Amino acid sequence: MTFSTPFDAPSPKFLKYPFTFVVAFLLQLIIRVRRLEEESIHREKMMRAAMEDLGRQLVAKQDKTSQTVVEAVGSLKSRMYR
């Protein structure tokens, strides 16, 4: 079937029923927004876990540094009282 002009061709169904086009667009938009929300929740959880791990590492380093300082001070005290 050939058409002499583009206007003779049958229009796509979504143009015949604009409501379905709008509904499809809104559904696609809702799906994208939900996906973005899920991704942001996942990123937030990952960041929270990373921050907690970083906090534990910093506490461990602080404890190690404090222990080193206490040992150095103890060593100096014992040398002073000899």
pLDDT, tens only, 21-30 = 888 899 999 9
CA–CA distance, 61 with 58 (Å, rounded to integer): 5
Structure tokens belonging to residue 62: 């602080």
Give me the pLDDT at residue 40, please: 98
pLDDT tens digits for 47-72?
999 999 999 999 999 999 999 999 99
Average pLDDT over every residue of 10-39: 83
Give me the pLDDT at residue 82, please: 60
Q: Which residues lie closer than 8 Å to 15 by C-beta, 6 or more apart? A: 21
CA–CA distance, 62 with 81 (Å, rounded to integer): 29
Which one has a higher pLDDT value, 48 or 10?
Answer: 48
Which one has a higher pLDDT value, 46 or 11?
Answer: 46
